[in-house]
A and B are shown apart, each in its own frame.
Chain A
Amino acid sequence: MTEALSRLFGEFHAPLVRLVTRRTGDPELAEEIAQEVFARAAVAPPRNPRPWLFAVALNLIREQGRTATRRGRLLELYKAEAPSRAPAPDAELERSEQADRVRAALATLTERDREALLLKAEGFNYDEIAATLGLAKGAIGTTLSRARRRLVEAYRAQEGRQHHAAS
């Protein structure tokens, strides 16, 4: 069991952390969730690990999201009160703002569409996405089609608003 878990960890920890980071924007939380996922795998080793690990991670993200919603308002107030920091270099700031826009665009997708898109970005094939999300394989193409279009259009809309505000 130990060797199997070690292999799982070696193969899937980094992609798992990456997906959760992309999904939440919080690398520390991503690490915590990944640890929790592997802790659960240690107790109940999955037969089909890849979809299982990512499905558990996505469930934990949803659970965390429900908790975070309650705290969100307090955190927003804290952000408003925090002292201003020195401005970051322009290029870094621009990229960070781009990442924020991507996240905002992702937030316009349904949870399923968002998850399917992030799993595809991690190299999952349709069978694996279907197994992870509990969808029929035949629905994955349509799901990704909708998700990609929505993401791109939402991002373009934000860019358009920003350019309009800047002008």
Chain B
Amino acid sequence: MQHLDDGLLHALVDGEVPSAELGELQSHLDGCAACRARLDEARGFTRESDDLIQLLDVPAARPAARGGTGAAGRPASGPSRTWWTTGGRRLAWAASLVAAVGLGYTAGVRPWQAGASDPGAGVRSLATVPVENAAPAPAATEPATGGVEPSDRASDAMPDQMAARNRAPSPAEREAQSERSAPAEPVAEALASGARQEIAADAAPVRRRDEAAPLRTEPAAATPAAPPAPVMVIDRAVGAALEQRGNEAAKQVLVAWTAVDLPTAIRLLGGSLRLIEGLVPERLETAGRAVRVVYADGIVLEQRRDADSVVVALRGPAGLAADSLARLAARIR
């Protein structure tokens, strides 16, 4: 008698054997105690290896050097949480961001200004994701308990297939389901290279708020020619705002920034101030309804309350690589 190979047994446990072949397998298992024992062993190894892989998602107690073994200092993510989870609230927007390297960007141009016609001037960016009302964290993961448990009779192949198909979703699958049913996030396109700047520059005109909206800016009048500084806009409703305001945004001009204290800054933004995790702000400034957090080395995080959203723009010094800016943006809390 030819025994069933391990690959076939594991395919059976994983529910990957076509139903047309199950009858033959069942017959063999009914008459072969050795294969029944190996099937049980396959189930055990599958269950145990799944449990072990889940352990990789636990928070780390100590930092580890990059590239080495061990969990990183930042809390590792469980299947239902990613590393940017703060206080249990999943900041889904942080995962979606758009990098647009300013082509001909000048210091005075605000990213929410519109109307630039010169593709080489002003800031190019694409509206991305919400910066408020982030989706609540999905339910904490639980070990998959299984729907239909495999039969206690090791010789019964059918329950393995049924169990694999009918079992409760794994934490990964459960999270995928919750993500698919979550409110749709606005567009995010990560454009972090020189080649992708051209794509951003050629992006479609302003669209609905749920879609990516390329943001055009007018070059500030009489500004000195300066190398373009990269700007990343993390925005929710820029498109809608521009549509509503029409040319109004295009008329926005430079204003003077003045120092402001923290409570006032928070109040101006409707109750929350975004900061870049890991960086110490040098000062807070305000101009009209906008607030900016100024860091060392020319890093500026501008925020402006706009109807039901907060427009956020991260600006870096000229010459800063776009992917460096993207990494900073990913740390905005």
A6 touches B186 (CB 8 A): yes
Looking at the complex, which one of B7, B59, B64, B188 makes contact with A141 (CB distance below 8 Å)? B7
Q: Are A121 and B69 in contact (CB under 8 A)?
A: no
Q: Which residues of A contact B9 (CB under 8 A)?
A: 141, 145
A148 lies within 8 A of B170 (CB):
no
Min CB gap B46→A, angstroms: 6
Expressed in whole angstroms, the Cα–Cα distance for A105 and B179 within the complex equals 31
Given A11-B180, A125-B16, A42–B190 Cβ distance below 8 Å? yes
In contact, A99 and B76 (Cβ under 8 angstroms): yes
Q: Which residues of A contact B67 (CB under 8 A)?
A: 24, 26, 64-65, 67-69, 71-72, 75
- Cross-interface CB contact of B72 among A27, A71, A98, A139, cutoff 8 Å: A27
Nearest-Cβ distance from residue B118 to partner chain A, whole angstroms: 23
Sorting the interface of chain A by its residue count into under 10, 10 to 19, 20 to 34 or 35 or more gives: 35 or more
- Contact B189 A72, beta carbon cutoff 8 Å: no
Residues of A with C-beta under 8 A to B95: 9, 13-14, 17
Residues of chain A contacted by B57 (CB below 8 angstroms): 18, 21-22
Contact B70–A32 (Cβ < 8 Å) = no
Are the CB atoms of A100 and B184 closer together than 8 Å?
Answer: no
Q: Does A53 contact B (CB under 8 A)?
A: no
A87-115 contacts to B (CB < 8 Å): 88-89, 92-93, 95-100, 102-105, 107
Interface residues on B, range: 35 or more
Given A15-B176, A122-B172, A141-B10: A72 touches B185 (CB 8 Å cut-off): no
Interface string of A110-134 (1 = CB under 8 A from B): 0000000110111101100000000
Question: Which secondary structure dominates chain B's binding surface?
Answer: loop
Q: State whether the Cβ of A162 lies closer than 8 Å to any Cβ in chain B.
A: no
Assess the B10–A145 pair: CB atoms within 8 A: yes
CB-CB contacts below 8 Å: B25-56 with A: 42, 45-46, 48-50, 52-53, 55-56
List B contacts of A117 (CB < 8 A): 49, 53
- Given A27-B74, A145-B9; A35-B184 close (CB under 8 Å): no
Tell me the nearest residue of chain B to A35, going by C-beta. Answer: B190
B142 interface residue (CB < 8 Å to A): no
- The reply to whether A21 and B56 contact each other, CB–CB distance below 8 Å, is yes
CA distance A49 to B199 in the complex (A): 21
B263 CB–A CB distance under 8 Å = no
Give every chain B residue within 8 A of A3 (Cβ-Cβ): 187, 211
Structural contact, A11 and B176, CB atoms closer than 8 A? yes
Cα–Cα distance between A99 and B54 once the two chains are bound (Å): 9
The reply to whether the CB of B254 lies closer than 8 angstroms to some CB of chain A is no
Residue of A nearest to B327 (CB): A32
Expressed in whole angstroms, the Cα–Cα distance for A27 and B58 within the complex equals 12
When distances are taken between beta carbons in the complex, the residues of chain A under 8 Å from B46 are: 148
Query: Does A39 have its Cβ within 8 Å of any Cβ on chain B?
Result: yes
Q: Decide if A123 touches B173 in the complex (CB within 8 Å).
A: yes
On chain B, the residues within 8 Å of A32 by CB distance are 323, 327
Judge whether B212 is part of the interface by a CB distance below 8 angstroms.
yes
Q: Shortest CB–CB separation between residue B34 and chain A, in angstroms?
A: 16
Determine the chain B residues whose CB is within 8 A of the CB of A166 once the complex forms: none
Cα separation A5 to B96 with both chains bound (whole Å): 11
Which B119-176 residues have a C-beta within 8 angstroms of A? 126, 170, 172-173, 175-176
Say whether B77 faces chain A, with CB atoms less than 8 Å apart.
Answer: yes
In A10-61, the 8 Å CB interface with B consists of 10-11, 13-15, 17-18, 21-22, 24-32, 35-36, 38-39, 42-43
User: Can you name 7 extra interface pairs (CB under 8 A) apart from A11-B179, A11-B180, A13-B95?
Assistant: A10-B185, A27-B72, A68-B68, A99-B60, A107-B69, A120-B14, A141-B11
Give the 7 A-B CB pairs with smallest separation, nearest first: A68-B67, A142-B7, A141-B7, A88-B61, A75-B65, A27-B83, A141-B11
